[in-house]
Structure 1
Amino acid sequence: MSEKPAITPGGYCANTTPVPGTTEQVNGHALGGKFFKMHGRRYADCPCSRRPSLTDRGKLRRHKPPEE
């Protein structure tokens, strides 16, 4: 397995590039009104083992790595 990405002084993951082939779009509309905010949102895996959403440019949003 690849090594974990660096962590910024604020505790956030420094990686913004998603793992290739892990991007998928969530259709939250089918889940009902409570989950409508997920509709059309794209998610991808990060090497730090989180699954944050993607920005419009295809980069990972700022996220904190899981605590071990």
Structure 2
Amino acid sequence: MSVKPATTPDGYCTNTAPVPGTIRAVNAKNTGPKYFHLHGRSYAGCPCGRTSIGVTERDNLRRHKPPQE
């Protein structure tokens, strides 16, 4: 049973470190101009249960809300 990170009063997760081993890059370069914005983006999971959160250049998670239970 994992411990979920705390949330701010407005409902956002306070965790910025991704779960080790969950960082993945999306290769959508050959899918055409409609999906070109996905090329080179990295996504990771958070201990709060949310997956596919964008990762910044410093390997921190972007601001996100935990999933609703």
Equivalent runs, 1:4-15 vs 2, <5 Å: 4-15=4-15
**Unaligned 5+ runs, structure 1:** none
Task: Say which is worse superposed, 13-22 or 26-35, in terms of deviation.
Answer: 26-35
**Any gaps of 5 or more consecutive residues in structure 2?**
none
**Structure 2: how far apart are the matches of 1:30 and 1:4?**
37
The CA deviation string for residues 1-31 of structure 1, in whole angstroms up to 9 with x for no partner, is: 3111101011100000000011111112233
RMSD: 1.1
Report the counterpart of residue 68 of structure 2 in structure 1: 67
In structure 2, C-alpha distance between the alignment counterparts of 1:17 and 1:30, rounded to whole Å = 30
Deviations for 1:9-60, whole angstroms, at most 9, x for unmatched residues? 1110000000001111111223332221111000111011112010110000
**Corresponding residue of 1:50:** 50
Aligned position for 2:18: 18
